[in-house]
Structure 1
Amino acid sequence: MSGQQRDAEPLRVDRRDDRVIATLDRPAVRNAIDRDLVDRLHALCGELEADPRVLVIAGAGGVFASGADIAQLRERGAADALEGINTRVFARIRALPMPVIAAIDGYALGGGAELAYAADIRIGSPSLKIGSPETGLGIIAAAGATWRLPEIVGEARAAELLLTGRVLDAETALAWGLVSAIHPADELDAAAHALVDRIVANDPLATQYTKRALRAGHDTGAVLALQAELFESPEKHRRMTRFLERRQRR
């Protein structure tokens, strides 16, 4: 199957009450990200903006995403670059109200790496291989790597990865903080769900505001405004009352 043909189900979506699991599934091109997949990710973002739930992104067949679909990318011109096809959808994923977890098994290269960088939490398997080899193809990593990667691993390491096209293995990615944990491949899904379980046990509004506070950086005024809203929340009063009652019973 060529990259120009439409896959049967390039994005398999498992919708649950508190989480959504989106699995890239384009086996013929190792889950490369094409325009159709981008459109499907936009549609999913629309769902999660209207009905916030934790999102887990994974890849089928032992590959997260091998990159952007080169067959399509080769034919794109300047107007396509300025449209920011991948850039816009990754920004939308990054801005989702609830946390996004990337469960990375195998290769996450180029656009696949940039999709992973858009997540709030990244975990991987021992076969993880992640990097941005765009300069070897005559382009740059323009869908998030040049600004998100320095935030994740620091400017010096980001520069090394982006300028050399180096691909990191699981051990190095963990040591650099690019992923927070490594799990055996057959336990990766369970590890992602365990993270979701911990997230959804907390107050959803506090979780959403924490994500917004992380994006606010050093804007303490914005962070305190979020905290001020939560201080007036009935859920804050209920949870703190329950905490105090449990402590009194000990």
Structure 2
Amino acid sequence: MNELICTHPFQNDMRVATLQLNRPKVLNAITTELLGQVITELERLESLPEVRVIIITGDERAFAAGADIQKMVDAGAIDQLNDSRMKLWRRFSLISKPIIAAVNGFALGAGHELAMACDITIAGHKAKFGQPEINIGTVPGAGGTARLTKAAGKSKSMLMALTGEMIDAQTAYDWGIVAKVVPATTLLQETFELAKKIADKSPVASRLVKDSVNKSQDMGLWDALEYERRNFYLTFASHDQKEGMNAFLEKRSPEYKGN
């Protein structure tokens, strides 16, 4: 059985690609091997100019219910040090195309960290989010405190990581962890429509938006403003900027080529 399935939800339109985690017997628990498959596929899609937006999802029971504990229980500190996960997460961060997480069911531990590593998270109304590592005597190790604190703030991050308790989709929305909550039954369709809307925009501008937002997380305000301004200037070297502004003036729909 393939643990990762890649599809294109819109027939005859390759601009949107979907990666589905497919380990249903263990609620899509993430192993180093599965994470490696995700990264390899992301990098393949990154290289395809026709692909503009990527969706990562699971199934109705779980986006991903954490790491595979069975594969970790007997590991030592050096085993963890030598594990390739952190290199894989770094490669994930280098993907320049927008990535949307579509979350139904459980997004716990590494699953929640995977969703937070994406650029936008859309949640079905029954989704549950959490960092339960403390319940098994350890702590988050791939963003469950770092990314969560940036999204939700210190107090809420402490609450989730120190109690290990789950929060529901509406709470995750209220705390700034997810961008939108939709009915579970329409999650994929609404995510597809959002991805298609983004795919209609300039790929050059989309990449520079992602770059500016991500860089701003690690900068002071004025440094972030200067970086943003440089990306704004850069768009004026693109065909897409000329096409977009001319289309606006001519009252027609732009045809972006990604250059």
TM-score by structure 1 length? 0.90
Aligned to 1:3: none
Could you list the per-position Cα deviations for residues 160-213 of structure 1 after superposition, in whole angstroms to 9, with x for gaps in the alignment? 111221210122112112112111222000111111111111100000001000
Aligned to 2:235: 230
CA distance in structure 1 between the aligned counterparts of 2:31 and 2:17, rounded to whole angstroms:
21
With 78-87 and 10-19 compared, the bigger mean Cα shift is at 78-87
With 28-37 and 204-213 compared, the bigger mean Cα shift is at 28-37
- Match for 1:18 among 15, 20, 42? 15
Aligned to 2:256: none
Aligned to 2:27: 30
Aligned to 1:41: 38
With 15-24 and 181-190 compared, the bigger mean Cα shift is at 15-24
- Residue identity opposite 1:20 in structure 2: A
With 128-137 and 11-20 compared, the bigger mean Cα shift is at 11-20
Conserved? CA contact 1:87–1:144, under 8 Å: no
Instruction: Give aligned pairs, total.
Output: 240
CA distance in structure 2 between the aligned counterparts of 1:18 and 1:189, rounded to whole angstroms:
16
With 47-56 and 199-208 compared, the bigger mean Cα shift is at 47-56
Percent of residue pairs identical: 33
CA distance in structure 2 between the aligned counterparts of 1:97 and 1:175, rounded to whole angstroms:
27
CA distance in structure 2 between the aligned counterparts of 1:95 and 1:156, rounded to whole angstroms:
29
The alpha-carbon deviation at position 81 of structure 1 amounts to: 2.2
Could you list the per-position Cα deviations for residues 88-108 of structure 1 after superposition, in whole angstroms to 9, with x for gaps in the alignment? 333433331111111110001
Match runs of 1:116-195 below 5 Å: 116-195=115-194
CA distance in structure 2 between the aligned counterparts of 1:93 and 1:143, rounded to whole angstroms:
12
Distance of aligned partners of 1:75 and 1:42 in 2 relative to their CA distance in 1, 3 Å threshold: farther
Distance of aligned partners of 1:74 and 1:53 in 2 relative to their CA distance in 1, 3 Å threshold: farther
Could you list the per-position Cα deviations for residues 22-76 of structure 1 after superposition, in whole angstroms to 9, with x for gaps in the alignment? 1111111111011321221121122133235311111124211110001001132
- Residue identity opposite 2:45 in structure 1: L
Conserved? CA contact 1:27–1:61, under 8 Å: no
Distance of aligned partners of 1:84 and 1:140 in 2 relative to their CA distance in 1, 3 Å threshold: farther
| 3-state SS, counterpart of residue 12 of structure 1 | strand
Contiguous gaps of at least 5 residues in structure 1? 1-7
TM-score by structure 2 length? 0.87
Q: How big is the alpha-carbon RMSD for the aligned residues of Structure 1 and Structure 2?
A: 1.7
